[in-house]
Amino acid sequence: MNRILVIANNESDLLSLMRDNGLDITVIPSESATRPVASDYDALCILGGTESSALILSSPLHDLFDGMREAKKPVFCEFVGSFGPTRSRGSESTARQRMVYRSSGICAEGVSDGDLLDGQSNECLKLLPTGDSSRPILSYLEDVCAHTHTDISEDEHKAGKWALWRYDESLLVSSIRLANFHRARFAPSEKWRALIGAIVEFLAGERVELSFPAPIVTHDKNATRECAVQRGIEWIKRSGLLKDGGRLGINEGYSNGISAKNGEHKLRVNVRADCNGEIGGALLFDEMINGNTSSGEIARELFDFNFRWMQVKDGEHRGMMRWCELAWCDCYQDDVARAILPLLLVRHINGDTPYLDEICEALDYLLLATCEDGIRPPCTVKSEKAPDEGVNKAAGSYPPCAHFNAYYHACLLLAYRATGKKEYLDYGVKGLETIMNAYPNTRRETSESEEMARLILPLAVLYGVTKNEEHLEWLSRVADDLESHRHPSGGYREWDTGYTAACSRNHKGECALLAENGDPVADLLYTNNWLPLGFAYAYMVTGEERFLERWESVSDFLATAQMRSDIPHLDGAWARAFDLERRENYGMPHDAGWGPYCIESGWTIGEILMGLMFMNVAKSTRNDNNT
């Protein structure tokens, strides 16, 4: 086995891997590398990926590099700004691009030409020249619309930005940060392990059986729903998102971006009314259903915050609930609905509706800008104008879309049950009728499967209020259409017939996880997260066993998709993208803000937890009705 000299200023995953697997390595910081000569070692590994910027070789290191090259000994340069005739012309972010593998530069067992490997929030050095005999191993390509594999030509590989390449037989170059591949959660993990193994074997000069550390994140196939609820509630309390115990709200979550330098997962610092309400709902259910009073105390702080600070108290915009602190004058009705929905659901637990006056003020404000067909514009902005000024009251003035309206209609109907106010009933019914008259060709935001998932709860509420058989037929139709996308794991695949959704295959802004219909990718931010609550409510109002079975199936899936990790802010949470067959967090990373590893406190965690607990209420209600 080769004697390997490693130049590194910091510990890293790649360095630990070589050390822990017994390779013959000597580690020297870059500024101390003044004495080694090429004849002392058989291979050279320079790791710069943990530095704040590309590592610049000192004069002695340049001399060592040249000596190793003249002797044709293996050299691996990772995130090094200059070596030999090659120097960097800066770097650029690669966070929303895909790396495509080609075996002509190095053969990684189990990785095929065209496989896609994602390096999270990486950056790529602009290294020129590449050398006459250079061959790309990983190339960054723009707008790759595929889940795990794409077929491209050798010329297309060469035309991309080279992330990993073979300069010649004795020099391997990584122009991206590769050293901390493990803690940065490069995906898919199996492919990356094979590629890292091939790099280590290049340096060692022989085949090495490597033992890799356990993944940062795992998923337990045997996890139970009850355990998932407990771990999810614990996550809320120690996630670092609650501000002053909830008295100042809760931060939105953790961003998609994971630093390839050190694995840092950045906080999404933004307080949103919907996240406050959804997390508040999960904690309130935990108190009322499971008896955890400490959860209820935090929940009441979150709801108090919403109605004190996020709701306008006077003037012509009285009742308006602000979207978030980052957009103080914006009002999205679906987000308002999810901020107040948990409080309306409490009525099914103890017959009460907390904060009912404030809820009605919020809904009355939303009604001002609701068209005659029950559809509201996706967002209104508080200005000097009256809230309903400029809104076309004619039917069909805005595209019917469950994503922006259906939960608003559900809240109107639930508020009608609490108050008897007929206007709530009229607009709740009209709105859902308008959407269903257009279904399945509604205006989609992320996918067709998302639209279906967003309709289950509202249609169940509609039937529960009206007991109209046509409304039950709508619920059945949407639920049965959604079933065609259920994976054997119990999760629901993304699907978008005709790819007409606004975010389908969009690489410039917000983007769906879906590349091709049939991909085994589940969305836990926009689709699967709504289903436990929707199916539980549908079972409560219909008593049909199929809704109970579907709740059990998707809830069991979500329990097994919950993250397990030694990192506190990951353990007990769910991330947006889940590959249903690889069983890891992996999907197209093109979304500008809500990519595969995004953790949304309200939309994902709060909604899933409420849905996992609400079946207790549904079963109790069914039993009461049958006695």
What CATH number did the domain enclosing 62 receive?
3.40.50.880
Chain segment 567-589, per-residue pLDDT in tens: 999 999 999 999 999 999 999 99
> Is the same domain home to 97 and 237?
no
Last residue of a domain, one of 143, 175, 204: 204
DSSP letter for each residue of 322-366: PSBSSSTTEEEHHHHHHHHHHHHHTHHHHS--TTHHHHHHHHHHH
Which of 148, 174, 204 finishes a domain? 204
The residue among 393, 396, 403 whose CA lies nearest residue 369 is: 393
CA-based nearest residue to 140, from 167, 172, 175: 175
What percentage of the chain carries pLDDT values higher than 90? 87
Where is pLDDT greater, at 390 or 156? 156
Same domain for 177 and 279: no
Residue 128 binned pLDDT confidence (cut-offs 50, 70, 90): confident
Q: Tell which residue, 120, 30, 115, 121, has the closest CA to residue 77.
A: 30
Task: Provide the β-strand partners of residue 80.
Answer: 55
Lowest-pLDDT choice from 6-15, 34-43, 232-241: 34-43
Residue 518 belongs to some domain of the structure: yes
Residue 422 resides in a domain: no
The average confidence (pLDDT) of the chain is 94
What does 501-566 look like in DSSP terms, one character per residue? Answer: STTTT--SSS--S-SSTT--EEETTTTGGGHHHHHHHHHHHH--HHHHHHHHHHHHHHHHHS-B-S
* pLDDT at residue number 353: 96
Considering the domain architecture, whether residues 495 and 568 belong to the same structural domain is answered as yes
For residue 436, tell me if it sits in a domain. Answer: no
Closest by CA position to 573, among listed 607, 614, 616, 531: 607
- Residue 140 clears pLDDT 50, i.e. is over it: yes
Q: Is residue 29 part of a domain?
A: yes
Domain limits for position 76: 4-204
**pTM exceeds 0.75 for this model:** yes
**pLDDT, tens digit, 9 for 90 and up, residues 516-567:** 999 999 999 999 999 999 999 999 999 999 999 999 999 999 999 999 999 9
- The count of structural domains within the chain is 2
Tell whether 308 and 273 lie within a shared domain.
yes
**Whether residue 97 is found in the same domain as residue 18:** yes
Query: What is the pairing mode between strands 4-8 and 43-47?
Result: parallel
Quick one: 60 and 174 in the same domain?
yes
Q: Is residue 277, in this structure, part of any structural domain at all?
A: yes
Is-cis flag, bond preceding 354, omega within 30? Answer: no
Q: Both 241 and 188 in a single domain?
A: no
Together in a domain, 475 and 602? yes
Q: Would you say residue 627 has pLDDT above 50?
A: no
Whether residues 260 and 179 fall in one domain: no
Closest by CA position to 371, among listed 286, 317, 460, 435? 435
In a domain, 331, yes or no: no
Which sign, positive or negative, has the C-alpha torsion 474, 480, 484, 485? positive
Q: Give the gyration radius of the chain's Cα atoms.
A: 27
Residues 129, 236 within the same domain: no
Residue 386 belongs to a domain: no
Residue 507: the pLDDT is 77
Domain membership of residue 97 (yes or no) is yes
296 shares its domain with 148: no
Please give the pLDDT value at position 625.
Answer: 67
Q: Of 169, 204, 239, which residue sits at a domain end?
A: 204
> Do 551 and 581 sit in the same domain of this protein?
yes
How high is the pLDDT of residue 351?
A: 94
